[in-house]
A and B are shown apart, each in its own frame.
Chain A
C-alpha cells in the first residue's frame, strides 16, 4: 500500500500582471489579465510507508509547490493526489493532523513565546495526550539538544536553534509523514549534521515517511536511497541514488602534475577542463577509456610527476543533469 499516490498532478499559477497606481489597483481587482505558470506539470509518483525520499531540482523547479499540495496548502489544478488515503485539500483538518511539515524559510512557532510554550500550545492544537507529549518532548529535546533554549522566545533563537525547535514541533503529534522543505538551509556543518542524524533516526526508529527537498546534496547522500528530480515542473528522474550515479556519474576526473609547464597538454579521448601551470585536469567517460590507457597516452608525451583520479561527486552529477537537461530525452 502506498502512503502517497500522485497521478498526473498539475499545478498552474495565475500570476497577474501588476498595474501601478490607484487606477491600476482598481483594474487589478476586476480584470483577468494574467500569465500562466506551469509550476508542476503532470507528474506521477508513489511513495511507500517508511521511505525517505530526496526531492531535488534547481530553483523554481516546482519542489515547494509539490510539497504544498501534498501538505494540503494548495489545491491542485488537476490530477490525482492522495496522501494517507485522503485528498489533502478536501479534508484539510483531518489530513494535517497526521502529517508534519517544516518549511525551512519560516517558522510555525509563535514569535514572542518561549519555545516550550509554543510546544505546549501545539499539544492542545493536536490534542496530544499528556503522557505522549511528555515522552516525545523528552526524547526530541535530548536528540536535538533543545534544552539550553527551551525557555527562550522564538524571536531570539539562532537559525539553527529555530530549525531544531521547528522540527521538534512538527513531530510531537507523531505524524505518519514528514515533509521537509529545505530543512538545512543556511545552517553550519555541525547543525546540518545534527539534523540529518535526527531525520535518519526518526525515519528508522519511528518509521516516519520523509520527503525532503534540499539544495545540499550531502543531505541526499547521507539520508536518501531514493531521489526524485524535478525541473520546470516535470519529473525527470525517480529512482535509486545509486542508479543515478551509475547512469550519469560516468565521467571521472584525472588531475595530473607535470614536471614542467607545457604549453599544450591536450590528449585524445579525454577533455581538458583545467590547465594552470604544471597542473592539468582531464575528464573522461568511465566506459570509453580506462585510467591506465589515459595515463599511457599522457606519459608518452609529457613527464608526469604525480596524479590522482577522482570519481565524480553526486553534486557534479546533479549539476550536469540540471545544466544539460541530460534526462530530457
Chain B
C-alpha cells in the first residue's frame, strides 16, 4: 500500500513533467476549459438579469451551487483524469492499458497515476471565483458547523464524480463506441446537479435521489449553507448525508471496476 502510494507520486511527477514539456498546448487547454465555464455561467447570469429569481432562488444562490459543483468537478477531473472515460477508453483501445497490467503495482493507483490534468486548474480557479462572487452577492451567515462542513461537501462531491468517471471508464472495457453516452452520464450529470433540484420534474428528481443520490451531494447541503427551507420536505438531516452518498457511489463504482477488470478483453493487435 505504501509502495503504491509512493509510486503514485513518482508516476504523477513524470506526468506533470511531460505535460509541462508542451507548454503552449497546456496553456491553451487551461484557458479554453475555463472559458467554456465562464460562458456557461454568463448565460445563466443573463437569464437572472431578466427574471431576477427562478423558483425562489436568486442569482447569488444559484451561483453558490454552481460554483460548488464546478470547483468539485474540476478538482475531481484533475485527480481522477486517469479515469476520464474518453482518455481511458483510448488507452484500452490502443493497448496501453495492457502495459499497466504488466507492472506489479495496484492497478487503480496506476490508472490514477497515469494522468493528472493540471490544465483543469483554469476550471477550478473559475469555480472558486464563481463561489466568491456568489458569496459577495449573497452573504452567508457562517457558523462553525458550516465552515467545517464545506470542505467535507467538496470532498464528497469529488468522490461522487470520481465514481461516475470510474463507472464510465469501466464501461469502455465493453464498448468504446458508447463514449458519447458515457459523457452524457458524467458531464450531463454534473450539469444537471449544478441547478437547484426542485426546478426539475418529479421523475428526474427521483432519479437523482434514489438511483444516483446526487441530490444529497449538492442540493441539500446548499440549502443548509444558504439557510433556505426545503421545498421537498426531506428530514432535517438530509443535508448531512453528503459524505455517505459520496462514499456509497465511490464504493459501488469500485465494485463495478473490479468486475470490469475480470472481464477485460485487451485488444487484438
Contact = CB atoms under 8 A, between A and B. Distances in A.
Interface of A: 13-14, 16, 18, 22, 24-26, 28-29, 64-65, 68, 71-75, 92-94, 96-97, 101, 103, 105-108, 110-113, 117, 121, 124-127
Contacts of A124: 6-7, 10
6 contacts: A14-B265, A24-B177, A28-B177, A106-B94, A108-B102, A126-B104
Given A16-B174, A29-B175, A73-B98, A121 B264 contact: no
Interface in B164-194: 171, 174-175, 177-181
B233 interface: no
Interface string B1-29: 00100110011001001100100000000
Q: Among the interface residues B94, B95, B96, B266, which one has the most CB atoms of the partner chain A within 10 A?
A: B266
B104 A97 contact: yes
Contact of B104 (A73, A94, A105): A94
Contact of A28 (B6, B17, B175): B175
B101 interface: yes
Given A16-B175, A65-B268, 5 more contacts: A28-B177, A28-B178, A93-B104, A106-B96, A112-B17
> For the side of the interface on B, what is the size category?
35 or more
Nearest to A92: B101
Contacts of B262: 75
B37 interface: no
Nearest to B107: A92
Contact of A105 (B11, B101, B269): B269
Contacts of A73: 98, 101-102, 264, 266
Chain A interface mostly helix, strand, loop or mixed?
mixed
Contact of A26 (B14, B95, B181): B181
Interface in B81-138: 94-96, 98-99, 101-107
Q: Among the interface residues A14, A64, A75, A112, which one has the most CB atoms of the partner chain B within 10 A?
A: A112
Nearest to B98: A73
Contacts of B174: 16, 29
B92 to A, nearest CB: 12
Q: Among the interface residues B14, B96, B263, B269, which one has the most CB atoms of the partner chain A within 10 A?
A: B14
Contacts of A26: 178, 181
B178 A29 contact: yes
A106 B94 CA distance: 9
A125 B265 contact: no
B181 A18 contact: no
Contact of B7 (A25, A71, A125): A125
Contacts of B175: 16, 25, 28-29
Nearest to B13: A121
Interface in B24-58: none
Contact of A25 (B11, B21, B181, B265): B181
B266 A29 contact: no
B171 A29 contact: yes
Interface in B135-179: 171, 174-175, 177-179
Contacts of B264: 73-75
A96 to B, nearest CB: 5
A127 B10 CA distance: 13
A18 B98 CA distance: 23
Contacts of B99: 103, 106-108
Q: Among the interface residues B94, B95, B99, which one has the most CB atoms of the partner chain A within 10 A?
A: B99
B265 A74 contact: yes
A26 B171 CA distance: 12
